[in-house]
Amino acid sequence: MKKKRLQARLVLEDGSEYIGWSFGKARSQAGEVVFTTGMTGYPQSLTDPSFRGQILVATYPLIGNYGVPLQPKTGKPYFDRFGIPVHFESDRIQVAGFVVAELCEEPSHFASTSTLSAWLEQNNVPGIYGIDTRALTERLREQGVMRGKILVEGCREVTFESGDIAHPVAEVSPREVQVYPPIISGTKRAPRIVLVDCGAKANILRCLIARNVELIRVPWNYDISQLEYDGIFLSNGPGDPKACGKTIATLRKALTDSKPIFGICLGNQLMALAAGADTYKLPYGHRGQNQPCTEVGTQRCYITSQNHGYAVREDTLPRGWESWFVNTNDGTVEGIKSTTGPFRAVQFHPEGCPGPRDTEFLIDEFLATVRHHAGLPEEPRRVLPAGETPVSMLRHEEDSKEGVA
């Protein structure tokens, strides 16, 4: 029997209201309302820790058309042999709610085992469809991001403040240190990389592991000075970077050393704050897989994946630091680099999943710098175990078929 449709409303802080229909979990929920311009990749966006606690608006009109790839019997994500989600960016949905114009209830894809609505319901996340997302996006662009709440017919009322999260990074960062050994053992020592995980997307782990490093994944507030390492990788994450005071203090010490550091997204902002620069909240942020960025000096433009609501103030960069990339649309800083040490960061996602992969070479350049400073021999840009292919190495298809959980 088909369930009765429930009316739902999206109400914003400025008093505007959008009426549609409920899907997913029938419950009311509040959160900061943001939009993403990506035309695909909703499973990755919904599980991206950088969206923690936010109500996400998809500007692409049709969502849910290719369903969700879950284990048929358990309805849980597939995990690879390293315990990393195969198809998602974390092991759960991170958004507080999902807003779409048109919901596809009959998906068509060979890997799909669930509808989008059923997946949201399983994760206790409400959705609303049937509203004019173009008008909503225009309002968010003009007014800036603001609190909102999804109110479902017959469900308990919520306040705007109920969706606030004091420290979202602390919610999505791992609690303990995890070590991933090199995928190929041999006489040569692999680079030892510390990943400061402030809410790292799973594809960061996949990209680093595929390049045969020894990866040490640590919580956001971990004191890395007690570790032996060759380089530091700063992850993405949700919220205001200034809330990560312990991470900034740790980085400030690390910047006095000569070991290479590379940051992405939140990591770019943390690097800037540790260097002495300032950050600020953007009116509506940059989110999607189609954001153009220009490399300073070369005028080469790359299409990038982004998800951030804060940026670095260029005029506060101290001596010895400069802009590396800028947003081609609005001129905001999209990357910084030191002129005196091996320290670089970008605001976008070189490891972007489902793409684009135009800037993934930056990860290779970082690891080449690490090997050079550590006196390690150079290796191919991507290392594959015997019998693996690039696709199976990065997506671990064999593990997904086995349904390793």
- pLDDT reported for residue 187: 65
pTM for the predicted model, two decimal places: 0.92
Q: How confident is the model at residue 2 (pLDDT cuts 50, 70, 90)?
A: low
Q: How confident is the model at residue 299 (pLDDT cuts 50, 70, 90)?
A: confident
> What is the overall mean pLDDT for the chain?
92
Q: What is the pLDDT of residues 339-375, one digit of tens each?
A: 999 999 999 999 999 999 999 999 999 999 999 999 9
Instruction: Summarize the confidence of residues 155-176 as an average pLDDT.
Output: 97
Kindly tell me if the per-residue pLDDT of 7 is higher than 60: yes
Beta strands of 49-202 (E only): which ranges? 54-58, 62-63, 97-100, 102-103, 126-129, 146-152, 178-180, 192-197
C-alpha 88/C-alpha 220 separation (Å) is 21
Kindly tell me if the per-residue pLDDT of 385 is higher than 70: no
The amino acid that residue 42 corresponds to is Y
| Domains contained in the chain, CATH given | 7-164 (3.50.30.20), 169-374 (3.40.50.880)
Task: Identify the H or E element spanning 254.
Answer: helix 245-254
Which residue, among 99, 102, 93, has the nearest Cα to 148 in the 3D structure? 99
Instruction: Summarize the confidence of residues 197-201 as an average pLDDT.
Output: 98
Give percent of the chain above pLDDT 90.
88
Lowest mean pLDDT among 20-29, 216-225, 355-364, 394-403: 394-403
- pLDDT reported for residue 378: 79
Kindly tell me if the per-residue pLDDT of 397 is higher than 60: no
Catalytic residues: 265, 349, 351
Cα distances (angstroms) measured from residue 48 to each of 14, 248, 404: 27, 22, 21
Instruction: Summarize the confidence of residues 141-170 as an average pLDDT.
Output: 96
Question: CB within 8 A of 185, min separation 6: which ones?
Answer: none
